[in-house]
């Protein structure tokens, strides 16, 4: 069975040493009374306890039992109920919620760290509070005051949960062709009819109500994605006291049998003249939903990192315990721990170097979102916008890479269910797919985040990094500076190509940018080391890891840039029938 | 449910056009009366039918039902019994077996193609005939005449099956520390006692007897791997007529619950004073077993390719059917097939380019083994020896890459069991692990195949390729020549490093060599094109695919070589406790 211990040491290092967010929090009027370093540490400690004690030890049971549909009701693994109650009671479900509606008002940088721990403990479970938090973000931004007062306090408190209902059987990435309809009723509500698939947490009895955010088309809707509106469709309609009493016309048709995240109820939901309430402007639903999507995309990054962290911890522990082969002993009847084998050690160090950079990256992006929110800082908003698809795609791709490598460390035992490593591979795999596949993230990055302004936001960022690492160099600077130069040069080449060429290179380009930015994360890690605060072991680990990253991981960029530079004319010269 | 159609067109192209093996077969006295192009095609057609009709349509059932242990007996998915009977009746289980003992005497190049089809149809099923064939190779080479006459005809005919019993709970990659013991009995047999784990096809009722090849230690065994002997331990001991009648002391303790290949019975086998017969010399068992291991390692390559081929076919079909987004149509209510999206097309073309190179590579290695066997050609033997770890590691790593990418083409549907894509990912994953992990393959390649002779065999091969592509250039030659030069240069650098540095670079180095050799496979594909024999579609597909490979896949080598050249001092400068 796989173990988990929250990496609080590295989390605190990122929050308080690398990004010095406690200092930032103290400068913000909205935050200075809410949070300081000690509060944050206490919150993280408590979250760690729930993850380590109530979720992680039972995640294999959640996998085996799964969500079960019987007679139109979905039941979840037993320990989900108690763990969810603990989360709700502690106020975790409204951690970054707006205090005006009962949220705790904590910064995103903090909730991102809690997300990582929840995902390490059980990705499937993390989706229930995760979707709820996303729904709250959309409601807070787009709903009217009455709706916010009716729904947000119950969602923040964990009494109710949320979903996002986008996909239909024939309309996934292409929402413009969806068919779910919304007819105006006699009051100010709408009658929603249609069928949605892949609805995470679509039906369950964890909470007394479920608040579905549903995309549908009004009768007068323009064609395509500009004709989609957003509706709030509660499982139970509220009475005048705001209590959920009347069953609405939404039912679960079936639940999917999936590769992993079996504890998550992935539902087909049928809306049959269900009562819904318009959120935001008519036909502007996709923009509203993107508020939620962008929130979720960051959470996907936490899923990649969370699984990778747990995979690493277990592979490391196995590599120290498992005796095979002789690296130091001469006795042919004895064997040494496999961590001494260069290839095993290499796999572990690759995972460690990518995970820790990923944690710094996640904290960075979250802190940029905080700065955009609390300071209305446009530069931070632009950069968070630029980095969101990287957080989603790169962190989940590296998540699979880490879980597969960690499974490999176990040899044959990695393939056996009992050890838990294969579940991590199965669970993390979904994060590359949902909330917009990683290919769609890459296209978004290449076209809408980089090409759209001829690379201006990206280049300004790279220029700032370049100045920073030159003015205060450390053991990462030379390799990093070289990588940045190569990246800028290739960016100029890429930006001169046409749409099809940019699209076919988008995934490799996103990866190249990400590896360079992870190099910057290692620069920041090393820069934050302080022999007065950190142990000699911690300092050496960070410095060696930074060195490893810059010399044995960052060179992957050369392969990516060479691939991007390669002539891809064959892609469309090969006709469909010739595939 | 995932489909499968055997790629007979490309298989025939490889056998008869790329490598012109029909001409070679006609020159060999042992083969000329056994096989010609038409016989080979007929054999492949029949094998394709079994795979397409009796196995592939039911592989999802085999996954769901799995092998089941009850009261000491293992039962398999129902259709396995009929499919196995078809294989046996057609003589497939003895396809490349020695005719002196009832085998069909077909060349390895042909059986390798059948292996690929079986693995596409169902990797788990393929292991039953696969292990049997491996056991036959070991017995043929190391057993005495009486034993061969007793066992080989029954194994070739499929009446009995074989296993290889190596791993113990504490001894996997490190067999030297195994504890299973063999005590001499009063006759010429031995009493085998101990417990073996991960025994594929260890117990089942597909066949009337199971022939276990077991590694164990004699009482006077030297310590370590030089003290291991090989024993034949039949499930049922034979009477004087050679019929299996007396149950031997080997029982199944449990079967493993695995990530995939659920139709394969992976057993814990307990040997309790089981009667065994020494095969080969005392203490030389590991060398005998390696005969079988090397055979199996080639089959692992077929598992990677087989799964990748089926993944490709299904992703291609889905990409042509699935309408999302607009690439040509302007109507916002309509959508085009996703094969028109550059990123989806890129994923498909990457898989296709790697699969077809892989098939040419597999045929090549098999034909080298044939030349070593029938002509006693030392050069071919050396090269087959060099390429074996690449076949195992690279083809299985690319197998996972292909299955994951193909699953990604399906978007959310790829994660749902119903579509069969996630099963391919789960099934193929084992091939990177068993028969020596891919890390061990890389170490074997780097140290025992390349460093051992200062790169002589490899460099001679690269030199021959270089001369060939220069003397008769085609559209792959320039890129390939450049890659070869870079590889040779880095090989010289690698060979000057110490054991630890070579070991930590072994995986990347194996990959770099493999990508270059796959480039040569594309050179050979293009070279074999003939407008008198091949359709315009086929020729354009091959030429574009070759171009794509050389310009958009081969550049990966630059990242690998840059990584190898990077300073990896941090790997051991980071101490165990600092991980």
Residues of A in contact with B335 (CB under 8 A): 174, 177
Q: Is B70 exposed, middle or buried (0-12, 13-18, 19+ CB in 10 A)?
A: exposed
The active-site residue, picked from B296, B356, B422, B435, is B435
pLDDT of residue B21: 98
Structure token digits, residue A554: 């960052």
Structure token digits, residue A538: 């911690």
pLDDT band (50, 70, 90) for residue B427: very high
Interface test with B, best of A176, A228, A439, A535 (most B CBs within 10 A): A439
pLDDT of residue B79: 98
| Res. B296: pLDDT tops 80 | no
Residue tagged 């659920």 (tokens): B262
| Res. A55: pLDDT tops 90 | yes
Q: Are strands B209-216 and B160-165 parallel, antiparallel or unpaired?
A: parallel
Q: Is B478 on the interface with A (CB under 8 A)?
A: no
Domain's final residue, options A113, A134, A153: A153
A574 closest CB neighbour out of B442, B541, B557: B541
Q: Which residues 391-410 of chain B have a CB within 8 Å of chain A?
A: 400, 404, 407-408
Min Cα–Cα distance to chain A from B74, Å:
18
Cβ contacts of residue B350 below 8 Å, gap of 6+? Answer: B405, B548, B552, B553
Asked if residue A136 and residue A14 are part of one domain, the reply reads yes
pLDDT of residue A403: 98
Tally the domains of chain A.
3
A433 closest CB neighbour out of B415, B557, B575: B415
pLDDT of residue A126: 97
**Would residue A528 count as lying in a domain?**
yes
| Res. A297: pLDDT tops 90 | no
Domain's final residue, options A288, A318, A341: A288
Shortest CA distance from A436: residue in chain B: B411
Residues of B in contact with A349 (CB under 8 A): 570-571, 574, 579
**Would residue B309 count as lying in a domain?**
no
- Going by C-alpha positions, the residue among B287, B356, B362, B291 that lies closest to residue B113 is B362
Asked if residue A220 and residue A135 are part of one domain, the reply reads no
Asked if residue A166 and residue A127 are part of one domain, the reply reads no
Min Cα–Cα distance to chain A from B240, Å:
39
The Cα–Cα gap between B364 and B359 comes to 9
Contact of B152 with B97, CB cutoff 8 Å? yes
Report the SS3 class of residue A38. Answer: helix
pLDDT of residue A290: 81
The Cα–Cα gap between B67 and B254 comes to 11
Asked if residue A68 and residue A117 are part of one domain, the reply reads yes
User: CB distance B572–A345 less than 8 Å?
Assistant: yes
Contact of A385 with A378, CB cutoff 8 Å? no
pLDDT of residue B403: 98
Asked if residue A141 and residue A17 are part of one domain, the reply reads yes
**Would the CA dihedral through A133, A134, A135, A137 be positive or negative?**
positive
Q: Is B329 on the interface with A (CB under 8 A)?
A: no
The residues facing A420 across adjacent strands are none
**pLDDT tens, position by position, A224-262:** 989 999 999 999 999 999 999 999 999 999 999 999 999
Q: Which residues 349-378 of chain B have a CB within 8 Å of chain A?
A: 349, 352
- Going by C-alpha positions, the residue among A107, A82, A83, A86 that lies closest to residue A97 is A107
Q: Are strands A244-247 and A160-165 parallel, antiparallel or unpaired?
A: unpaired
pLDDT of residue B288: 86
| Res. A296: pLDDT tops 80 | no
User: CB distance B506–A348 less than 8 Å?
Assistant: no
The Cα–Cα gap between A233 and A278 comes to 9
The Cα–Cα gap between B300 and B296 comes to 6
Q: Which residues 520-539 of chain A have a CB within 8 Å of chain B?
A: 537-538
Q: Is B486 on the interface with A (CB under 8 A)?
A: no
pLDDT band (50, 70, 90) for residue B290: confident
The Cα–Cα gap between B390 and B396 comes to 9
User: CB distance B426–A429 less than 8 Å?
Assistant: no
**pLDDT tens, position by position, B43-85:** 999 999 999 999 999 999 999 999 999 999 999 999 999 999 9
User: CB distance B571–A438 less than 8 Å?
Assistant: no
Q: Is B317 on the interface with A (CB under 8 A)?
A: no
**Would residue A298 count as lying in a domain?**
no
pLDDT of residue B569: 97
Interface test with B, best of A476, A548, A565, A579 (most B CBs within 10 A): A579
B433 closest CB neighbour out of A412, A437, A548: A412
The Cα–Cα gap between A146 and A303 comes to 34
User: CB distance B225–A429 less than 8 Å?
Assistant: no
DSSP state string for B107-140: -HHHHHHHHHHHHHH-HHHHHHHHHHHHHHHHHH
Domain's final residue, options A153, A181, A201: A153
Asked if residue A143 and residue A170 are part of one domain, the reply reads no
DSSP state string for A465-505: HHHHHHHS--TTHHHHHHHHHHHHHHHHHHHTS-HHHHHHH
Contact of A258 with B416, CB cutoff 8 Å? yes
The Cα–Cα gap between B253 and B563 comes to 45
Q: Which residues 233-272 of chain A have a CB within 8 Å of chain B?
A: 256-260
- Going by C-alpha positions, the residue among A471, A473, A549, A562 that lies closest to residue A517 is A549
Q: Is A128 on the interface with B (CB under 8 A)?
A: no
**Would residue A346 count as lying in a domain?**
no
User: CB distance A552–B570 less than 8 Å?
Assistant: yes
Q: Is A541 on the interface with B (CB under 8 A)?
A: yes
Burial B225-236 (b: 16+ CB within 10 A, else e): bebbbbbbbbbb
Contact of A191 with A157, CB cutoff 8 Å? no
User: CB distance B504–A342 less than 8 Å?
Assistant: yes
Asked if residue A274 and residue A177 are part of one domain, the reply reads yes
Contact of B259 with B66, CB cutoff 8 Å? no
Min Cα–Cα distance to chain A from B50, Å:
25
Q: Per-residue pLDDT averaged across B307-322, rounded?
A: 98
pLDDT of residue B294: 76
DSSP state string for B333-350: T---BGGGSHHHHHHHHH
Asked if residue A216 and residue A168 are part of one domain, the reply reads yes
**pLDDT tens, position by position, B527-561:** 999 999 999 999 999 999 999 999 999 999 999 99
- Going by C-alpha positions, the residue among A195, A136, A178 that lies closest to residue A160 is A136
**pLDDT tens, position by position, A533-547:** 999 999 999 999 999
Catalytic site positions of A: 435
pLDDT band (50, 70, 90) for residue B297: confident
Q: What is the CATH number of the domain that holds A227?
A: 2.40.110.20
Shortest CA distance from A540: residue in chain B: B574
pLDDT of residue A295: 74
Cα–Cα–Cα angle for A32, A37, A41, nearest 5°? Answer: 130
DSSP state string for A149-181: HHHHHHHHTTSEEEEEE--BTTBSS-GGG---E
Q: For residue B435, indicate whether it is catalytic.
A: yes
Interface test with B, best of A224, A341, A406, A412 (most B CBs within 10 A): A412
The Cα–Cα gap between B92 and B100 comes to 16
pLDDT band (50, 70, 90) for residue A291: confident
**Would residue A50 count as lying in a domain?**
yes
pLDDT band (50, 70, 90) for residue A381: very high
Report the range out of A288-302, A457-471, B276-290 with the highest average pLDDT: A457-471
**pLDDT tens, position by position, B196-254:** 999 999 999 999 999 999 999 999 999 998 999 999 999 999 999 999 999 999 999 99
pLDDT band (50, 70, 90) for residue B289: confident
Q: Is A452 exposed, middle or buried (0-12, 13-18, 19+ CB in 10 A)?
A: exposed
The CA–CA distances, whole Å, from A332 to A347, B30, B177, B222 equal 26, 44, 7, 9
Q: Is A149 exposed, middle or buried (0-12, 13-18, 19+ CB in 10 A)?
A: middle
User: CB distance A257–B562 less than 8 Å?
Assistant: no
Asked if residue A121 and residue A173 are part of one domain, the reply reads no
**pLDDT tens, position by position, A477-528:** 999 999 999 999 999 999 999 999 999 999 999 999 999 999 999 999 999 9
**Would residue A192 count as lying in a domain?**
yes
The percentage of residues in chain B with a pLDDT greater than 90, rounded to a whole number, is 96
- Going by C-alpha positions, the residue among A213, A224, A199 that lies closest to residue A278 is A213
DSSP state string for B51-94: IIIIIGGGHHHHHHH--EEETTEEE--HHHHHHHHHHHHTTGGG
User: CB distance B574–A333 less than 8 Å?
Assistant: no
A506 closest CB neighbour out of B333, B337, B343: B343
Q: In three state form, how does the secondary structure of B167-183 look?
A: CECCECCCHHHCCCEEE
User: CB distance A544–B343 less than 8 Å?
Assistant: no
The CA–CA distances, whole Å, from B314 to A203, B342, B410 equal 31, 18, 9
Q: Is B321 on the interface with A (CB under 8 A)?
A: no
**A-B Cβ pairs (cutoff 8 Å, strict):** 298
Asked if residue A31 and residue A103 are part of one domain, the reply reads yes
pLDDT of residue A320: 98
| Res. A1: pLDDT tops 90 | no
Q: Which domain, by its residues, includes A225? A: 161-288
Asked if residue A147 and residue A75 are part of one domain, the reply reads yes
Report the SS3 class of residue B432. Answer: helix
The percentage of residues in chain A with a pLDDT greater than 70, rounded to a whole number, is 100
**pLDDT tens, position by position, A124-175:** 999 999 999 999 999 999 999 999 999 999 999 999 999 999 999 999 889 9
**Would the CA dihedral through B273, B274, B279, B285 be positive or negative?**
negative
pLDDT of residue B251: 98
Other beta carbons within 10 angstroms of residue A570's beta carbon come to: 23
Residue A84 phi, psi dihedral angles, 5° rounding: -65, -35
Residues of A in contact with B171 (CB under 8 A): 324
Min Cα–Cα distance to chain A from B557, Å:
7
Shortest CA distance from B224: residue in chain A: A332
Q: What is the CATH number of the domain that holds A77?
A: 1.10.540.10
Asked if residue A464 and residue A563 are part of one domain, the reply reads yes
**pLDDT tens, position by position, B357-399:** 999 999 999 999 999 999 999 999 999 999 999 999 999 999 9
The percentage of residues in chain B with a pLDDT greater than 70, rounded to a whole number, is 100
B574 closest CB neighbour out of A331, A541, A572: A541
pLDDT of residue B291: 76
């Amino acid at each position: 069975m796989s173990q988990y211990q929250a990496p609080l040491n590295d989390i605190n290092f990122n929050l308080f040493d690398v990004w010095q967010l406690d200092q930032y929090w103290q400068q913000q009027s909205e935050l200075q009374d809410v949070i300081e370093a000690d509060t944050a540490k206490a919150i993280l400690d408590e979250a760690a306890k729930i993850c380590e004690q109530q979720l992680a030890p039972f995640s294999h049971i959640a996998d085996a039992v799964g969500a079960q549909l019987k007679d139109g009701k979905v039941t979840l693994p037993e320990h989900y109920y108690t763990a969810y109650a603990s989360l709700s009671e502690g106020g975790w479900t409204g951690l970054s919620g707006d205090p005006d509606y009962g949220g705790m008002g904590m910064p995103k940088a903090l909730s991102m760290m809690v997300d990582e721990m929840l995902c390490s403990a059980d990705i499937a479970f993390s989706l229930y509070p995760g979707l709820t938090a996303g729904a709250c973000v959309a409601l807070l931004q787009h709903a009217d005051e009455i709706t916010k007062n009716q729904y947000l306090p119950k969602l923040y408190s964990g009494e109710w949960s949320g979903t996002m209902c986008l996909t239909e059987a024939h309309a996934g990435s292409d929402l413009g062709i969806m068919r779910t309809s919304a007819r105006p009723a006699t009051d100010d509500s709408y009658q929603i009819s249609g069928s949605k698939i892949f609805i995470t947490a679509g039906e369950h009895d964890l909470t007394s109500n479920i608040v579905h955010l549903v995309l549908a088309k009004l009768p007068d809707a323009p064609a395509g994605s500009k004709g989609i509106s957003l509706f709030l469709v509660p499982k139970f309609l509220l009475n005048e006291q705001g209590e959920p009493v009347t069953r609405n016309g939404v039912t679960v048709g079936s639940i999917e049998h999936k590769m992993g995240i079996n504890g998550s109820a992935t539902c087909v939901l049928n809306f049959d003249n269900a009562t819904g309430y318009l959120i935001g402007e008519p036909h502007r639903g996709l923009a509203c939903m993107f508020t939620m999507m962008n929130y979720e995309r960051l959470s996907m990054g936490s899923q990649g990192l969370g699984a990778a962290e747990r995979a690493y911890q277990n592979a490391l522990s196995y590599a120290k315990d498992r005796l095979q082969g002789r690296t130091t002993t001469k006795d042919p009847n004895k064997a040494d721990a496999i961590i001494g084998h260069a290839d095993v050690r290499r796999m572990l160090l690759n995972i460690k170097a990518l995970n820790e950079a990923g944690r710094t990256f996640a904290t960075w992006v979250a802190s940029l979102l905080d700065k955009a929110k609390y300071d209305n800082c446009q530069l931070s908003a632009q950069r968070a916008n630029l980095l969101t698809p990287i957080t989603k795609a790169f962190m989940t791709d590296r998540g699979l890479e880490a879980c597969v490598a960690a499974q490999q460390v176990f040899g044959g035992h990695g393939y056996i269910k009992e050890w838990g490593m294969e579940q991590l591979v199965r669970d993390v795999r979904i994060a590359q797919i949902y909330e917009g596949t990683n290919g769609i993230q890459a296209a978004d990055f290449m076209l809408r985040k980089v090409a759209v302004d001829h690379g201006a936001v990206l280049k300004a960022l790279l220029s700032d990094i370049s100045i920073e690492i030159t003015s205060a160099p450390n053991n990462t600077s030379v390799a990093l500076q070289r990588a940045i130069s190569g990246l800028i040069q290739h960016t100029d080449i890429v930006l001169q190509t046409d749409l099809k060429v940019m699209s076919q290179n988008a995934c490799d380009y996103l990866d190249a940018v990400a590896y360079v930015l992870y190099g910057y994360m290692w620069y920041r890690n090393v820069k934050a080391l302080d022999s007065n605060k950190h142990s000699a072991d911690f300092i050496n680990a960070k410095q060696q890891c930074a060195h490893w990253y810059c010399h044995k991981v960052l060179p992957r960029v050369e392969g990516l840039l060479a691939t991007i530079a390669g002539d891809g004319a064959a892609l469309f010269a090969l006709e469909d029938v010739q595939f």
